[in-house]
Structure formats: C-alpha cells, structure tokens
Structure 1
Amino acid sequence: MQSHLSRYVVITNSTNDEMNLASQMKALGVPAVSIAAIRNGAIDWTQAYGVSSLQGAPASTETLFGAASISKPVTALGVLRLVEEGKIDLDADVNQYLKRWKIPENQFTTTQKVTVRELLNHTSGIGTHNGEIYDPATPIPTLLQLLDGEKPAKTPPVRVEAIPGTKFAYSNGGYLVLSLLIEDVTGESFAAYMKRTVLDPIGMKHSTFDAPLPLKWQENGATAYGADGKWAVPPSKFVEPNLAAGGLWSTPADLAKLLLEVQREYEGKSHKVLHRQTIHMMVSPGKGPAPTRRYGLGFEVGGSPENPYIRHEGSAFFQDDMVEYLGGNGIVVMTSGGGGGALADEVLRSAGTVYGFPDFKSVEHTVADVPVSVLRSYVGTYAYVKVALEGGHLTAEIPAGSPAAQLYPESSTRFFVLDGPQELSFILDPQQNVTGTEFIAPMGHHRLDKTAAH
C-alpha cells in the first residue's frame, strides 16, 4: 500500500500517477506520517514514517499527533455515556444541565431550545468558527472566556445564529458547550472524565486531553507544520483549549482501538464504553437535507445500508483522517501537517484498493485534447471560483484565493481536478460565448455566473 498511493482521480492509460509514500511526503512537505490499518475487526499493522520534527528523531508508532477534529467523536462517546447513565436527556434543553454558563436566549431560541443531540450532530444553530492554537507562554483562555469570546480568547462568542434543528452548520462552538456540559454534570475536569470513561476503558494509553500537554508526553509529540511549511509549532507550544472539539493528542493505533470498540459494540460484543442500542443511534445518519444525513452523533457516516462506514477528519496544522467500515476494515492516518490532508486522502484511497473500501476508490477519467484558444476563453472569475491559463493548461482556485489546482479536460467544456471530486462544466451561449460554469461537487451542482475576466 505504501509503495502505490492513489489520487482521487486516475487518468486512463496514464503512466504519471505512480506515487509512493516517501516521494509524496517530500513533495507535499509532510515530515511525519503514522498509519494504523484495520482488517477483519483487528489491527492489521501500524507503521510510522519520517521524523517527529525537522532535524529531529525518527517518528515511531508511539509518536503523538494532534487529533484536531477527530476529538469530536471521542467526545461524543463521553457525552453518550452520560445519556446511558440517565444523567442527561439527548432531546432536553441543554441549558437545564449547565450551571456556570447558559446559552444566551435570542430570537432564534424563542420556540426551539438547543438540545444535546443537536450539539452532537451540528444542527444546534450555533455559528461556525475555527479553533485557535495558543502558546502556553501566553495567557490561555478559560472555558468560560471561550464561550463568551472574552480576551484572551481569539474566537467569537458562542451564540445561536439559526433556529435550532433547522439546518446543518459544522460547529466547534457546539462542542465547546458539550465540554461545559460534561464538567457541570460530573464535577470532573473534561480531561479527567474522558480519561476515566473513554480512553482508559478502551486501552488508549497513548492518548490524552490534558492541556498543555504534560512534559512527559511532549517528548513523544510531533511538531506541527503549516501548509506552506514556514510555520512550525512544537508540542510544548501547541494548545487547543477547546478540548472537546480539537484537544486530543493520540496515535493511529489508539484511534484504531476506538474504532474497533465502536465496531464491536455495533455488533453487541464489547460494552467497554457504551451499549449496542446507543452505538447504533450514534452511527445512524441524521434526518433532513444531505449535510445533516452525513452526520450521526459525533461521526460522519456513509456507505450503504449493507456496508456502512464511520469517519472523521482533523485539520489544525496536523492533518488526520480515519475511516472504518462497520464490517471490520478501516484505516487511520495522522500527519504532522504541510500537505498532509492530500497525503492522508491518497493513503485512504490506496487502502480502499487493498482493503476493499467501496466508497474510497479512485475514479477514472479520460483526457481530451482542447486547443489553447478554447482554454483561453474560459479564463475569468465565476462567483467564488477563479480560472487561469498557465503553461498551456487551465488552473482553478476553488474557492478564489486558495492554492490553484490544474484542470484536466474530459471534453471541450468539462474539466476535472486530480485530488478531489470537483468538476467544472463551462456554459456557452448560442454564439459560443462563455456565460458561466456549472460547479459539480459532492453537495450537488451549482451554476456560477461569470463575473470578470482577467
């Protein structure tokens, strides 16, 4: 698997798609990668590659990586434990359990209150904002300062911005409320509760929510690198205070243990954290529009009724991904940043071929010959997509301002990228003038009118 990585798209009869892990780590600026593969309900193998920091020691399977948003399904297990114990109700107003802070009432909460279920599946109406990394040499915001957006917090206050239960909006703030919920209901710190009820029972000995990362753990931590390779944050200076949303440090082997615990209890064979009925509820798709159906309670869910999978990605310098089919095959990939997101996707698709993941296999396209004069006519800005001509081929910034990706022509009007499902189909009027483009992505087709040439 390591010797042949797969892009999202492979070109028919192409000899340019041969990639291996070492060459892609170098090309994408990823100093460290660690992988755990799952086959038939057990860990098949684990392996680490590269160095824990530039000019540092080699990475090992015990090297800790920031799990980023992979923290969310781990948190969800802890929350659902409280549900099983009868300490909270999934569908009750979460404010009735909160003691030190309440979700402020506003025009969106007049008739609908925020529930625990909605916090878990990102339908609470709480606005979306990114997590922030703090250096412990400077003040780190408390949980209450984060909730109200008070200094030294760098993020906005947690507020409801849509009627709860009516729309999907991926929300780090919603998980911040869940960390408060756990602490107020149990009287324990979030990190201590998660260790007692989730990490220890599963045997995740190389995982912790402690922040800042204790000194004894820092020695095994990977340094995180920015996408441009210019920024480096060692574990001693890396704190995500929104622990529930992104504060876990872990290893692929430990996360594989967590996936296996979910898979085994899905079959009613474990009970270390939750029971079968709760796990089935956790991994069932939500109801409503497509984005809501993609999420259970903590996990992204997909596949078919006959072969469902659970998944979550993480991205905060560290770029991680984990997938498990509930039949017992899966993969966990953790990287120390750089272009680790693209690399993790390539590893996932390679695993899809080896382990038979029907939803994560490469898509094959053919390439057509399109004259440069035609390509030049497509140059311009279409709503949030910017198309340019470089060296005889088109590139697209999706969205504008992001790194440009090469567009490959499948016909004279339809183009695709190699590293994702995005496609552009240019729209012509009867005089063959370009009026817009149809942007084709996993969430559907969207017409984008041409706004400017350049």
Structure 2
Amino acid sequence: MLLMMGLVRRCHHRKLHDWRRGEAMRRRLWLSLIASLIVQGAMSQAADGSAALREKAVEENLHYLAVIKGRPDPGMSLPDQMSRLHVPGVSIAVIHDKRIDWSKGYGMTRLGGPAVSASTLFSAASMSKPVTAMAVLRLVQEGKIDLDVDVNTYLKSWKIPANEYTKNHPVTVRELLSHTSGIGTHNGMIYDPGKGVPSMLEILDGRPPAATPPVRVESEPGTKYAYANGGYLILELLITELTGKPFAEAMKELVLAPIGMNQSTFEAQLSPAKAKTAATAYEENGTTGYTPAHIVEPNAAAGGLWTTATDYAKFVIELQKEYTGESHRVLNQKIARMMVKAGMGPSESIRWGMGVRVGGTPPQIYFEHGGSAVYQCDMVGYPSGDGVVVLTNGGGGGQLSDQLVRSVAQAYGWPDFQPVEHTVVPVDPSKFGRYVGTYDFIKVTQDGNHLMAEIPLGSKAQELFPESDTQYFLRDAPTRVIFDVNSAGRVTGLVFITTYVHWYREKNP
C-alpha cells in the first residue's frame, strides 16, 4: 500500500521520504528533464490560430493563488513550474464552447522515459467519483434505483450495519452520492498487488489485508457534509450487484463506451498493455516513483479510473451538453441538472451536488473535482461551455494543477479561479520564535527572517506570509493560520482555516 487519500485536498496525509536524500541525483535528473522537456501531441481545433494564442497564454502565465499587493506578479512558465515543483509529466485538455480547444502533453511519463502524449494514461484518483455518480444516476434514470430509499434495500452480500445514527434515518443513495450519508471519512488507500489487495467486502468491514477502518455510519445521515470514500465503495457494490457484472465492465457499458472514453478503464489492476502506456507516479520529491503495475485502488468507484486528459474532457463535455439538453448519451437533462445541483458542503462557497463540487454564481455555475493519490489532478466544467482537465504524475502536481486552472481561467475570461490579492505587513522576525512548535499535524519553524510551516507534518515547508502579527497565509493554497496568544503573550494554539475546514489545534508542550 502506498498512501491514503486525504479529506482536505492538497493536504496529503502520507509519510514523505527524506527531502535531502539523494539531492545530487535529483539535481542531475531534473537538469536532464529540463533539457529534454518537449511539448507533445498538439491537437488544436481552431483553424484561425486563436486556440494557439490561448494555449501560449496558458503556458506562460501561471500564478500563485495569492497575489501580494505592491509586488510585481509577471506570471510563471509551465516548464519552470514543472521543474520547481518536481512534476515529471502533465497532460492538459482545455474545453471551449463544449469542444476540446487544444490538448497537449508535457514532460515525461517517467524520469528518463518517453514523453507524455495524448494517449498517456494517468490515474484520475478522486476524479473517478463524478464518473461513478453518472453511472448510478443512469440506473436511477432507468428506474432501477430510487435515490431516496434505504440503500440496504438493494444490497445483497453486505449491508450497512444499523446503529444509533441510522435508527430513525437509514442511508440513501442520494446521501452516498453527495457525501451526506454520515459515513466516516476513511477508506481511500492504494495497494501494491505484490503485498496483497483486499476485496470489497474486506474493505467494507475493515478486515486484513485492508488497512483502513470499517465503513460505518458515524453521524446521522442527511444532517451534514463529510467527504467519504467509503460511501463510494458502497456505490461500487450497488452497481456490481444491480448489473450482475464486474465494476469495470459495468462502468464501461454505463458511461465510458457511450461517451467514447475508449482509452479509459476502471480495471482494478491495469493490464500489461495498458500499464505500458501509463505514467509512473512520483512523490513530492519527484524521484521516489511507483510504476502503474504496483498501484491498485480496490475502491475503484472512489479512485480507480485510469484515463487521458482528452478522454476525461469527453466526460466533461457530455455533462455540459446533458445539462443544457443538447445530448443524452447517458443522462437526460433533468437527471444531469440534479447531478449538478448544489446541496450541502463544508461552507457556503463550497457545496456539493451528486459526485461533483458545485460553485460559481448563476447563471455561470461550474462543476469541479480534484484528485490526490500520488497522481494529482483537477477538472472544471462550466455548463455554459468552457472547462479544463489537468492530469499530473505527482511531485507537486496538486499545486501545479491549481496554477494551470487559474491560468486557463485568466486566458479564457472565467469569472472564477482568479488569484486573490493579499496585503503583507512587516513583522519583526524576532517575534517568530514564539510561534515555532508543533500543532497536531502542523509544524511551524523559522528560517532566518521567514516563518515556515509543514502542512501536513513531514511535507516540504512553505512560507507563512503575515497579514498581522498573528494572522498568516500560504501563497499557493487557500489556507490561513491564526495564532492564539494569551494575555501573558504565550502562544497556546492556532486556528487552521481553508475553504473546507476551520480547525483549532493546541500547541504541543
């Protein structure tokens, strides 16, 4: 097993390898990568050259999330950011007017290996969930599932155990799709097939070789949002039992084939032929890699899709067209609009439909989902016609994906995903010492005149920029840290704020 997919996107709760180990080797490898970085597979769809201009604008104008007031922000190039963030390979497909405007591969499928091309497979990680949700909703459309009845009605080989939380409100399919079932936030784990892969039922009950807790209801269903990989494992069981087919086969028939996602698959372990076309995944240091043959996500519904940027763009375009009534290859307009209707979420600005996060301001709403499981990726789709798919094979691919989405948003004039201006105030570095320490999963350190933080503990330290003596922000993540200082001037804890969470953590003694 390699790592668990985290609740908070871009907070990767995994043990990272020593950053300093093999520094000389990494330098040589990355110099080689930079020297051989090439852009592959250009597939411009615009004969007048306008797509080429937009493509160039995206490649040359990547930005951090935070723009610091009064400081120049000229933008960064994609090759430079791939090098800085140790991302070997990237595949991008940009959607404009409900068609692929352009698509390209950048870098290498593995260090020293072939270049990324349009046919390179990447793990979609949690971007698998929207595709699974579409399959479930097709079964709803066909009258085989009622969204609002007890899901145990349909399950045969395993049922959600009853407990105090389900006594008055059993879990429904709608709640599983929208992360409001009360299922605990666990059960997203990648396994090495050479060390044993658990079955679906072993994961559901938390039995070896499963390395995650059992899938259980931990709060009253329908009362709050809590991202749950385990809920999608139940949906996987539901699909297999209702169709009588293995999950990968059922997904091909229900969604992949009708849309034309011919290179994509939910195979729990890639066939040797497909593994040869897939990118190797790398940890944050950019050199510790895992070949596709050693990566299996048995919770395939939550994170088991292998795809290309152009294939996944077909999914985004199909959902756009179904939403506007222009297509019905999988869903009719009524069901597609149900999928993209905003419900509960961790905040007013972050709300979820069925399988997708929903944002924006009507009529310019969008649906979105990211993925983080060594491979880092993101997708955005506006029903009005624009969108983007970014797939990377690790390193700092999460940051790079976010930067690329922002670059596309600027090049195409989107109302969302724009950099946010912050004001930095001067703080005497002699005050930083009182903040140094560990706060649960956050480690704060001082590096000269800079305050730094490892979020989570063990990851590469990032600079904290001051907005006041006690309030700081990260430049490339929607994250604020507010230190709690008592009347005696002693720091007792901090408040950790993202778009998803608002947590207080005490300072360790």
Q: TM-score range by the shorter chain?
A: over 0.9
Query: For the structure 1 residues 153 and 385, does the alpha-carbon distance in structure 2 shift closer, same or farther, using more than 3 Å as the test?
Result: closer
Q: Give CA deviations for 1:345-367 in whole Å, capped at 9, x if unaligned.
A: 11111111111222201112233
How far 1:156 sits from its partner (Å)? Answer: 2.1
User: In structure 2, which of residues 276, 280, 291 is the aligned counterpart of residue 223 of structure 1?
Assistant: 280
8 Å Cα contact 2:65-2:477 kept in structure 1: yes
User: In structure 1, which of residues 235, 242, 265 is the aligned counterpart of residue 292 of structure 2?
Assistant: 235
8 Å Cα contact 1:36-1:46 kept in structure 2: yes
For normalisation by structure 2, the TM-score amounts to: 0.83
8 Å Cα contact 1:67-1:250 kept in structure 2: yes
Query: In structure 2, how many angstroms separate the alpha carbons of the residues matched to 1:298 and 1:53?
Result: 31
Query: In structure 1, how many angstroms separate the alpha carbons of the residues matched to 2:303 and 2:77?
Result: 30
8 Å Cα contact 1:121-1:292 kept in structure 2: no
After superposition, the CA RMSD in angstroms is 2.3
How far 1:108 sits from its partner (Å)? Answer: 1.7
How far 1:406 sits from its partner (Å)? Answer: 0.4
Q: Which residue of 2 aligns with 1:375?
A: 432
Q: Which residue of 1 aligns with 2:14?
A: none
Write the letter of the residue equivalent to 2:372.
S
How far 1:39 sits from its partner (Å)? Answer: 1.1
Q: Which residue of 1 aligns with 2:193?
A: 136
Greater shift in the superposed pair: 434-443 or 160-169 = 434-443
Greater shift in the superposed pair: 375-384 or 135-144 = 375-384
Query: In structure 1, how many angstroms separate the alpha carbons of the residues matched to 2:114 and 2:502?
Result: 47
Q: Which residue of 1 aligns with 2:90?
A: 33
8 Å Cα contact 1:285-1:293 kept in structure 2: no
Query: In structure 2, how many angstroms separate the alpha carbons of the residues matched to 1:14 and 1:257?
Result: 40
1:38-117 aligned at under 5 Å gives the runs 38-117=95-174
Q: Which residue of 1 aligns with 2:180?
A: 123
* 2:261 matches 1:191: no
User: In structure 2, which of residues 399, 404, 421 is the aligned counterpart of residue 347 of structure 1?
Assistant: 404
User: In structure 1, which of residues 246, 259, 283 is the aligned counterpart of residue 340 of structure 2?
Assistant: 283
Aligned residue pairs total 452
Query: In structure 1, how many angstroms separate the alpha carbons of the residues matched to 2:497 and 2:204?
Result: 37
Local SS of the residue matching 1:167 = coil
Greater shift in the superposed pair: 417-426 or 49-58 = 417-426
Give % identity.
52
Query: For the structure 1 residues 378 and 219, does the alpha-carbon distance in structure 2 shift closer, same or farther, using more than 3 Å as the test?
Result: closer
How far 1:122 sits from its partner (Å)? Answer: 0.9
Query: For the structure 1 residues 411 and 73, does the alpha-carbon distance in structure 2 shift closer, same or farther, using more than 3 Å as the test?
Result: same
Query: For the structure 1 residues 375 and 155, does the alpha-carbon distance in structure 2 shift closer, same or farther, using more than 3 Å as the test?
Result: closer
Local SS of the residue matching 1:290 = coil
Q: Which residue of 2 aligns with 1:257?
A: 314
How far 1:27 sits from its partner (Å)? Answer: 1.3
Query: In structure 2, how many angstroms separate the alpha carbons of the residues matched to 1:444 and 1:216?
Result: 42
* 2:460 matches 1:406: no
How far 1:136 sits from its partner (Å)? Answer: 2.8
How far 1:138 sits from its partner (Å)? Answer: 3.9
1:323-334 aligned at under 5 Å gives the runs 323-334=380-391
User: In structure 1, which of residues 418, 432, 451 is the aligned counterpart of residue 507 of structure 2?
Assistant: 451
Write the letter of the residue equivalent to 1:284.
K
Write the letter of the residue equivalent to 1:143.
M
How far 1:411 sits from its partner (Å)? Answer: 3.9
How far 1:42 sits from its partner (Å)? Answer: 1.2
Query: In structure 2, how many angstroms separate the alpha carbons of the residues matched to 1:80 and 1:66?
Result: 23
Q: Which residue of 2 aligns with 1:14?
A: 71
Query: In structure 2, how many angstroms separate the alpha carbons of the residues matched to 1:361 and 1:90?
Result: 36
Query: In structure 1, how many angstroms separate the alpha carbons of the residues matched to 2:110 and 2:284?
Result: 15
Write the letter of the residue equivalent to 1:365.
H
Q: Give CA deviations for 1:4-55 in whole Å, capped at 9, x if unaligned.
A: 2111012234347642111111111111100000112211100000111111
Q: Which residue of 2 aligns with 1:152?
A: 209
